[in-house]
Amino acid sequence: DTAVSQTPKYLVTQMGNDKSIKCEQNLGHDTMYWYKQDSKKFLKIMFSYNNKELIINETVPNRFSPKSPDKAHLNLHINSLELGDSAVYFCASSQGPSYGYTFGSGTRLTVV
């Protein structure tokens, strides 16, 4: 029944490690996004894919690499994790510009 699902929900890892977060949506939406929410709750766009094609790549360190194997999936891989990467990462999808985004439940990443 879940519309946008992310795994894992929590991720605690050491500096320098590589980790991935997976996202899947069953809404049939064409566009998917990754947002980062910092400790002050600021939501910042990282990437956007439309039908498997990258359309937005904000100023994000190239340690972050999104991958979209099909339009229902958008994964985020992070290399060489740093303390400053600690945040909540949200995946979202949308049907179009006039429609709301549906967010996943978020992945709380803690780098120690």
Partner 1 sequence: GQSLEQPSEVTAVEGAIVQINCTYQTSGFYGLSWYQQHDGGAPTFLSYNGLDGLEETGRFSSFLSRSDSYGYLLLQELQMKDSASYFCAVRPNQAGTALIFGKGTTLSVSS
Binding site for partner 1 (CB under 8 A): 33, 40-45, 48, 50, 55-56, 90, 97-106
Q: Which is nearer to partner 1, 11 or 104 (CB)?
A: 104
* CB of residue 18 to partner 1, shortest distance in Å: 25
CA atoms lying within 13 Å on the CB side of residue 97: 0
CA angle (54 as vertex; 49, 60 as ends), nearest 5 = 100
Q: Which is nearer to partner 1, 75 or 104 (CB)?
A: 104
* CB of residue 44 to partner 1, shortest distance in Å: 8
Backbone torsions φ then ψ of 30, nearest 5 degrees:
-85, -25
Q: Which is nearer to partner 1, 71 or 104 (CB)?
A: 104
The dihedral over CA atoms of 87, 95, 4, 52, expressed in degrees to the nearest 10, equals: -80
* CB of residue 80 to partner 1, shortest distance in Å: 26
